[in-house]
Chain A
Amino acid sequence: MASLAPTFGRGAMTNHWVDIKNADLILIMGGNAAEAHPCGFKWVTEAKAHRNAKLIVVDPRFTRSAAVSDYYAPIRAGTDIAFLGGVINYLLSNDKIHHEYVKNYTDFSFLVKDEFKFENGIFSGYDAEKRKYDKATWGYQMGKDGFVVTDPTLKNPRCVYQMMKAHYGRYTPDVVSNICGTPKDDFLKVCEMIAETSKSDKTMTIMYALGWTQHSQGSQMIRTGAMVQLLLGNIGVAGGGMNALRGHSNIQGLTDLGLLSNLLPGYMTLPGDAEQDYKTYIEKRAFKPLRPGQMSYWQNYGKFFVSNMKAWFGDAATAKNNWSYDWLPKLDKGYDLLQVFENMNQGKVNGYLCQGFNPLASAPCKIKVSGSLSKLKYLVIIDPLATETSEFWQNHGEYNDVDPSKIQTEVFRLPSTCFAEEDGSLVSSSRVLQWHWKATEPPGEAKGDPEIMAGIFLKLKEMYKKDGGAFPDPILNLTWKHRQPESPSAEELAKEFSGKALKDVTDPKDKSKVLVKGGEQLNGFAELRDDGSTSCGCWIFSGSWSEKGNLMARRDNSDPFGIGQTLNWAFAWPANRRVLYNRASCDLSGKPYDSKRKLIGWDAAAGKWTGSDIPDIKADSAPVEGINPFIMNPEGVARFFAVDKMAEGPFPEHYEPMESPLANNPMHPDNPKARANPAARVFKGDWETFGNAEKFPYVGTTYRLTEHFHYWTKHVKLNAIMQPEQFVEIGEELAKEKGIKAGDHVRVKSMRGFIIAVAVVTKRLRSLNVTGKKVHTIGIPIHWGFMGVAKNGYITNTLTPFVGDANTQTPEFKAFLVDIEKV
């Protein structure tokens, strides 16, 4: 989500599943919704059936999404920025943009610093040694009034519009076709169809998923898509949006709750080593508006933070100790999955706990992961299923050929419950928090995750209380007000993150008016205070369990406006808004661009915004006040120019995948530094594990099949029956060249290892003509392993490179180099 936030302000799917039915055009690119999210894809078929919508699929493979599309265009894996850059060029040069929208709701008119440069594929401030940018020049020209300087005429060559035009003018249809391998006619046809939606009563939605994120330049691919959508005025409107289709049922929720190295709940961030002073920490994050009159909602950061610390440390968090600010660990660097495995490999990690996660199968370069795990002193697995990771030390023949006696890791395997055996809430991709109910007891002695966490934590607390030890304060003071301390209930925890008033909370405009009494649940984040009078474990979830009860459990599916908003179904963050930035669906005067798909509109008589959705703006702020729709951005508008928010540059630029069939980047053939993402982190020693096109001539790409879910459903008999055995897909042309027939066993190898699988020979994978060279793609589904009821197979990530996106460090699973031979 490190690409949507820099553009719009929040890192989440902008619209929601049912809203897809309001689209006129659906672009599925960097994803395969029909296979990965079939029930969500239903709303594509609804749009087709009821709005006569068209579906475009752009993908290296003719997927099951493509099977029901109106138009399919092939593309070489890892070249989406070039394709979308070409679309931007098409829209700008053919003037197919939503003028009013881009002028008012984006940074089109903002002036960029003169020092900012882009030369031969590299932006200003690059340090090739560190593979990092100094982003000092990546900013706006600031006026004396403290606001960004703008040029509403859009004539200034340093305005974002002009700079973009220059930047993407290079992505001509021929260049695109040359890089992507997409036939020029196909590309132009897609452009034409997309351009249609620049009309204010036409919308396009983009549905993407791991097909964009799992690249070394994945975040920028997504950003390029977001930029296309902004040009067309498709953000914040019904049937529009950037629909990031999350993979797992609660990835959204766990990200919202900040379960990542550098985050705190609600997208607050941990301090770094340098941030020793609490006040500066807050000030740095409470962004002042960059344009007059804008909300810049992060100005309330202090309220969110203090309430969070009150939820965690209760009475121990006081104004005096800066709300226990120092109890939070400070970051010297990010500790993402790849970094942790790198550290582990270097022997710097002793213990590891895996809760419902199977890194041996999920992380890249199995041999490195397996070696790293072997260096641990202890490993704790918390899972309902017997995962590969839990048996990384066990010899499973050809699939996991290790010697247990040489592995000194102590491994604990703790059985946890599955969905059917617990109460709780999950956040769907649509940001909807939905409550679920327990139906039955778990098998054997299995326990729920909260019970297991409590079991470990209470033991630790007891030991620290008795024997002391390193810095016990946060452990001893962590709030634990559970009726059964060893088994915290879902209800108690949900109420805690939704938040309550510790003292009476009054209306700032009228102190005599009590909004919520001390001890009561809060109605929402607007009631949070930074004086310690409120407690809230995750500000964006605030109000999900109010005095009205558990709003996440609401089951009223009525849809009074007929455009699928169902506001009384469960609870969506933030504040039950269903379409983010919905203010952008109206013109400056507050009138909806498309009255048939009205989300909100300014009701002058009532003096507030009304409609089918909850306004994503201060409800009583009249349009004349000029609050712009992107309230989380200090600019108030969406960013084409990402300032310093992205690792590899404010404008996305095409770079080749780390392992590419091309010797150089066709955009910058004479600059080897700009071949692959210049800011992608590569660990020492991993360069040697990358292969080249001479030895590994084919593009490998891994993906999911609709019959399986990740590495779980190989444990599920019904799904094992549907896709029993590991296979790889190759095109008919390559099959012929290699003498491979459907059903043969083949060995697919990369620089890092090999797998053996059945060959599926298909017309759906075709060779592409890239820079005059024929490029074949080999499709490698991921779902098999050495545990489960399906036929055993090799772990696909044996093949993948240990490198990630420069912003998110999401591994590059979608484009790497392999070779294939018949076994």
Chain B
Amino acid sequence: MALQSLDIKARSATTTPSPSVRETMEVAKLIDISKCIGCKACQVACMEWNDLRDEVGNNVGVYDNPADLTAKSWTVMRYAEVEVEQNKLEWLIRKDGCMHCADPGCLKACPSPGAIVQYSNGIVDFHQENCIGCGYCITGCPFNVPRISKQDSKAYKCTLCSDRIAVGLEPACVKTCPTGAIVFGAKGDMIHHAEGRVTDLKSRGYTNAGLYDPQGVGGTHVMYVLQHADQPSLYSGLPKDPSISAMVGLWKGVAKPLLSLGIGLTVLAGFFHYIKAGPNEVEEETEK
């Protein structure tokens, strides 16, 4: 296996640029919620391909199973029954999972070098052998996606099947999707495809149909076509305008250099104080 089968754009806890001269095609997965039948084939294909088996859980009164993302369920369907227009029931079913942000909060927060890597094709991938299990990625993620495994205390999430993409295949969920609600390709092509879908939806009466490619995180490499793009929260709480939390931004942004600088300056201040003023010595006479 080549050292860099996919070329790197960013790497966690690394202050210098990663080898990033080569630019591969930016890819994206587009999830068209208006075509999704919530069959969970993507969930099964994901688990099967990635050799994961989550717990056989319980029914908690809804169709969602497993009930939430876990270290072994990297994608789940979230079902929402809504009536946007009165007496017109809509069953909005959203495939939840990593959005592969262009500006990934997880990577920004990660304190372990190389545990999170962003490839130049847009995939944000976790490398568990470098993961220290601190959970900062969870803190950093605007979509609440990564999960720490109870088994090995490492963080896991969708890899966008980087192993398949590296050899020129589409992700497992994309391949399996019976209705073609999930499509995959160059990001530009996906945006173009989405435009066609939005036009179709508008012609069917969904006047607010649109593409979900939130710019607050620099755009994502997993995008949605929404019937109601004006109200993403209808889709089981999809954030309307997600961005890396201001607190995380402070913590891993401004605070990082400033506080480091502050500490350094304090040390230096002491040093120069000593150079200038010398030691505070008790004079001999008082010693007596």
Contacts and interface: CB of A to CB of B under 8 A. Distances in A.
B2 interface: no
Interface in A369-420: none
A722 B59 contact: no
Interface string B85-123: 000011101000000000000000000000000000000
Contacts of A192: none
B236 interface: no
Interface stretch (A123-131, A160-168, A505-513, A712-720): A712-720
A34 B89 CA distance: 17
Interface string A710-734: 0000000111111111110000000
A47 to B, nearest CB: 12
B53 A764 contact: no
B81 interface: yes
A791 interface: yes
B37 A722 contact: no
Nearest to B57: A724
Interface in A30-72: 34-35, 38-39, 41-42, 44-46, 48-49, 52, 62, 64-68, 70, 72
B39 interface: yes
A717 B47 CA distance: 11
A31 B191 CA distance: 34
A38 B61 contact: no
A806 to B, nearest CB: 34
Interface stretch (A549-557, A596-604, A739-747): A739-747
A717 B56 contact: yes
Contacts of A720: 56
Interface in B20-42: 34-41
Given A67-B93, A723-B65, A764-B89, A758 B59 contact: yes
A790 interface: yes
A62 B180 contact: no
Interface string B40-51: 110110011000
B271 interface: no
B180 A721 contact: no
Given A64-B91, A67-B38, A707-B39, A758 B61 contact: yes
Interface string B184-208: 0000000000000000100110000
B66 interface: yes
A67 B179 CA distance: 13
B58 interface: yes
A211 to B, nearest CB: 16
B194 to A, nearest CB: 13
A39 B34 contact: no
A742 B40 contact: no
Nearest to A62: B89
Nearest to B63: A760
Given A70-B204, A719-B44, A722-B65, A45 B179 contact: yes
B149 to A, nearest CB: 16
Nearest to B73: A721
A49 B203 CA distance: 12
Contacts of A719: 44
A580 interface: no
A257 interface: no
Contacts of A762: 81
A41 B178 contact: yes
Nearest to A705: B63
B44 A718 contact: yes
A141 interface: no
A743 B56 CA distance: 17
How large, as a class, is the contact surface on chain A? 35 or more
Contacts of A725: 57-59
Contact of B37 (A41, A727, A741, A789): A41
B40 A68 contact: no
A759 B63 CA distance: 11
A62 to B, nearest CB: 6
A764 B91 contact: yes
Given A706-B39, A718-B47, A68 B58 contact: no
Contact of A791 (B56, B63, B89, B200): B56
Nearest to A763: B81
A761 interface: yes
A718 B89 contact: no
- Residue of B41, B66, B89, B181 with most partner-chain A CB within 10 A: B89
Contact of A721 (B36, B59, B65, B93): B65
A38 B54 contact: no
Contacts of B58: 724-725, 758, 791
B129 interface: no
B206 to A, nearest CB: 11
Contacts of A41: 37, 178-179
A115 B162 CA distance: 74
A51 to B, nearest CB: 11
B37 A34 contact: yes
B38 A64 contact: yes
B283 interface: no
Interface in A191-243: none
B266 to A, nearest CB: 54
A81 to B, nearest CB: 26
Contacts of A706: 37-40
Contact of B59 (A35, A64, A724, A763): A724
Contact of A723 (B34, B37, B59): B59
A743 B60 contact: yes
Contacts of B246: none
A707 B53 CA distance: 15
Contacts of B55: 721
A537 B62 CA distance: 50
Interface in A667-723: 706-707, 717-723
B230 interface: no
Contacts of A741: 61
A760 B58 CA distance: 12
B36 A68 contact: yes
A65 B36 CA distance: 10
Q: Which residue of B34, B61, B73 has the most chain A CB atoms within 10 A of its CB atom?
A: B61
A34 B59 contact: no
A42 B183 CA distance: 13
Contacts of A68: 34-37, 179
B83 interface: yes
Contact of A724 (B37, B41, B65): B65
Contact of A761 (B56, B61, B90): B61
A127 to B, nearest CB: 47
A45 B36 CA distance: 10
Contacts of A65: 37
A67 B43 contact: no
A42 B39 CA distance: 12
B56 A764 contact: no
A561 to B, nearest CB: 22
A726 B93 CA distance: 21
Contacts of B90: 67
Nearest to A759: B61
A724 B62 CA distance: 12
Interface in A54-104: 62, 64-68, 70, 72
A38 B41 contact: yes
B32 to A, nearest CB: 9
Given A41-B178, A707-B39, A742 B62 contact: yes
15 contacts: A38-B39, A38-B41, A44-B179, A52-B203, A67-B90, A68-B37, A707-B39, A719-B44, A721-B53, A721-B66, A722-B43, A743-B61, A758-B60, A758-B61, A764-B81
10 shortest interchain CB distances as A-B pairs: A742-B61, A743-B61, A38-B178, A67-B91, A725-B59, A34-B37, A706-B39, A758-B59, A763-B81, A45-B179
Interface of A: 34-35, 38-39, 41-42, 44-46, 48-49, 52, 62, 64-68, 70, 72, 706-707, 717-727, 741-744, 758-764, 789-791
Given A35-B39, A64-B93, A722-B43, 14 more contacts: A38-B41, A38-B179, A41-B37, A42-B178, A52-B203, A62-B89, A65-B37, A67-B36, A70-B204, A723-B59, A760-B61, A760-B63, A763-B83, A790-B56
